[in-house]
Homo-oligomer: A and B are copies of this chain.
Amino acid sequence: MTAPSPAPTDVYFDFLCPFAWRGLELADVLRRERGQAFRLRHFSLVQGNHPENPDRKAPAWWLHEQAGDAGTPAQQASLRAFLAAQAAARQGEEAAWAFTLALFRLRHERKAELDEAAVRLAAQEAGLDLARFEADLADEAGLREALAADLRDAAALGVFGTPTFVLPGGNAAYLRFSALVQEAEAAQALWDLYREVLASGAGIETIKRPR
């Protein structure tokens, strides 16, 4: 027998965002070294900040409905990365994490563009079955529908930035931090502090430094 898996924390991210990258590295440390469960979810910053979406809980403009060659370079890059990550996830949860981290590191550590070459390189570095990855990438309608499910859940929750973590009980918050936390003890300390803020009886809604 194995212990039941703990309920997962959803982590919403966009590959465009360096803070989401750090959030994913944090989650990965906790996942690998502390047995915390996280579920990878996609939230689009371009959609969230789109002028046609004044109410973030009821978007009129959805990223998954846009043509791949439409819009700004950031929009195209974000959509491309999301669809590729949905394709990678068809090879299982470990494949999804490996691809997600590989693509994030390519973008934010090695400063690559989120182009077709980066997507293929991330798939290769993540050890994906590349033939299957290409075949899954070709099912664009299916990938877009999977992305839509994430975008709809994010909108319902009112997600506005990444990374946003949603704890099993429903408590949720955007968490922006500047350090790359890859050591288990530091990761646990940050995670405990974040959860303590969300659990505070004072009803903390925001702590935000002026910039």
Q: Is the beta-carbon distance between A210 and B175 smaller than 8 angstroms?
A: no
A172 is an interface residue with CB less than 8 A from chain B:
yes
The A interface, classified by DSSP as helix, strand, loop or mixed, is mixed
Chain multiplicity (copies): 2
Q: Which chain A residues numbered 166 to 211 have a C-beta less than 8 Å away from chain B?
A: 171-179, 181, 186, 189-190, 193-194, 196-198, 200-211
A186-B202, A193-B197, A202-B190 given as contacts; is B177 within 8 A of A208 (CB)? no
Number of interface residues of A (CB under 8 A): 36
Q: What is the 8 Å Cβ interface bit string for chain A, positions 139-182, against chain B (1 contact, 0 not)?
A: 00000000000000000011111001000000111111111010
Known: A160-B210, A177-B200, A178-B202. 11 other contacts (CB 8 A): A171-B209, A173-B209, A173-B210, A174-B208, A176-B206, A177-B204, A190-B202, A190-B204, A204-B207, A206-B208, A207-B208
